[in-house]
Amino acid sequence: MSRPEPRTLAIVAVCLALVAGAVVVLSSLRPQPSITVLANWSGDNEALFRTSVIAPFEKKYGVHVIYQGTTAESQVLKADVEAGTPPDIVVLPGPGELADYARMGKLQPVEDLVDQRGYSQGRQTWMSRLDVGGGGSHNYWFPLKTDLKSIVWHPSSVPGDRLTAAKTASRDWCLGMGSDATSGWPATDWIEDILLQQSGWQVYQQWATGRIRWQDPHVEQAWRTWQQMVGAGQNAQTERALRNDYSAASAGVTANPPICRLEHQASFIRTDPPWRNGKGDFVASAQLIPHARPSRTWEVSGDLAAMFRRTTGTADFVRYLASKDTQQTWSLQQHGFSADTDVPVSAYGGDQTTHKLAETLRDSTAVHCFDGSDAMPPAMRDAFVQAALTFLARPDTLATQLGTLDAVQRSQPKTTWLQSVCDRT
């Protein structure tokens, strides 16, 4: 075989260089894989999610995350699904709404992507299983973050006897019903919690799963108790509540003179100015609700992640979100708590109030029940919100409101309700 001429070698070398350069150019032109995520976080919360969760994922997996944050999440999601363009991943507060999509065949199971050992405590609350097609039951969501309800916030300086007097002192309550497209949920939180504390988790679970009527005496008593506690129908109280956004309600605590001293609100409110830096504390709402049972029963809520489309990228993202490391990082950055018991309480820093909230959320001897309206079918949830706002302004319409809610309940097929909302059966 003859040896190649130097000129031939030079030509070959140039060709190889050109091919290599073309490969680099083609690689740079190849579109980066991407996934879409819809959630209700905006502003500071969106910025935290992008920097502490999304950015590390993109760097590690080379997958671009297109995030959309909106307070009108349910409406946006419904429109996207109807248009055939749902997000790949959605984070919703309502298992009832997610169950609807699962029964439509829109959601993908996630149990193989989530290490359920850490989530096993309270699994019936956080990770309900559904059998939507006769192919066995599956988990279609997992809790990205959780919060404790059934609590009342107060300035640390308020004495115990003043807290007790608040059972009938409606002027003491900080009230705000506004929340953009989801206005009214603070009202349903009140009624749900009163029912839970007065009648126990068994009655609460029957009600939240559509097995007892809205005109049941236990349920009616809860509405009447709320009327008594917050002064429903009293012009000044009602106008203030309907005018205020929930996020501004506690501003009355630091007014001069104070407008209010107590707030029935979930654990996330602790980061608001009046309750921040140890100036606020909380008690179990059962201590202030008239005729409450002496039991450790808590209403809880959560932001639940679900998957509409399964690809390598979406599976990696769900697995990443559910991992201990991400749960711990996210817990350090925002105001919620991880449901993963493998995340230590120390992850929340050294604040005693925050530790107490985290420990209550994972107390295996207590009963935890998911937010009732969030667990209901969307049509039932929306009707409940509207009825609660109307009742706040016009408590004399209660019989009409409950009758309407019973009619909506009858219109919902039994298959649209969750079977359990509490971590007891």
Tell me the whole-structure pTM to 2 decimals: 0.90
Domain boundary among 321, 336, 364: 364
| Model confidence band, residue 10 (pLDDT cutoffs 50, 70, 90) | very low
Residues 327 and 287 in one domain: no
Residues 38 and 95 in one domain: yes
In a domain, 318, yes or no: yes
CATH number of the domain bearing residue 140: 3.40.190.10
In a domain, 25, yes or no: no
What would the pLDDT profile of 159-208 be if each residue is shown by its tens digit? 777 787 777 678 889 999 999 889 999 999 999 999 999 999 999 999 99
pLDDT for 290 beyond 70: yes
Residues 103 and 162 in one domain: no
What would the pLDDT profile of 291-350 be if each residue is shown by its tens digit? 999 889 999 999 999 999 999 999 999 999 999 999 988 877 777 899 998 888 888 877
Model pLDDT, residue 278: 65
Domain boundary among 339, 364, 389: 364
Helix H or strand E encompassing 322: helix 312-322
pLDDT for 410 beyond 70: yes
Distance CA 267, CA 249 (A): 15
pLDDT for 5 beyond 90: no
Residues 184 and 274 in one domain: yes
In a domain, 277, yes or no: yes
Question: How confident is the prediction for the chain on average, in pLDDT?
Answer: 89
Residues 259 and 376 in one domain: yes
In a domain, 130, yes or no: yes
- Give me the half-sphere count of Cα atoms (radius 13 Å) on the Cβ side of residue 154: 22
Q: How many domains does the chain have?
A: 2
Residues 227 and 376 in one domain: yes
In a domain, 2, yes or no: no
Domain boundary among 324, 343, 364: 364
Model pLDDT, residue 15: 44
* Cα torsion angle, 242, 245, 250, 255, sign: negative
Once rounded to an integer, what is the mean pLDDT over residues 97-122?
89
Residues 275 and 303 in one domain: no
Residues 168 and 292 in one domain: yes
Range picked from 44-53, 325-334, 377-386 for highest mean pLDDT: 377-386
- State the DSSP string of 8-51: HHHHHHHHHHHHHHHHHHHHHHSPPPEEEEEES--HHHHHHHII
Model pLDDT, residue 57: 97
Model pLDDT, residue 273: 85
Residues 96 and 169 in one domain: no
| Model confidence band, residue 139 (pLDDT cutoffs 50, 70, 90) | very high
In a domain, 304, yes or no: yes
pLDDT for 13 beyond 70: no
Helix H or strand E encompassing 218: helix 217-230
Residues 154 and 143 in one domain: no
Residues 124 and 172 in one domain: no
The residue count of the chain comes to: 425
In a domain, 10, yes or no: no
Burial class for 16, CB neighbours closer than 10 Å (0-12, 13-18, 19+): exposed
pLDDT for 357 beyond 60: yes
In a domain, 207, yes or no: yes
Domain that holds residue 71: 34-147+299-364
Residues 90 and 50 in one domain: yes
What would the pLDDT profile of 226-245 be if each residue is shown by its tens digit? 999 999 999 888 998 999 99
What would the pLDDT profile of 110-126 be if each residue is shown by its tens digit? 999 998 877 766 567 88
Query: Which among 176, 164, 170 is positioned nearest to 234, based on CA atoms?
Result: 170
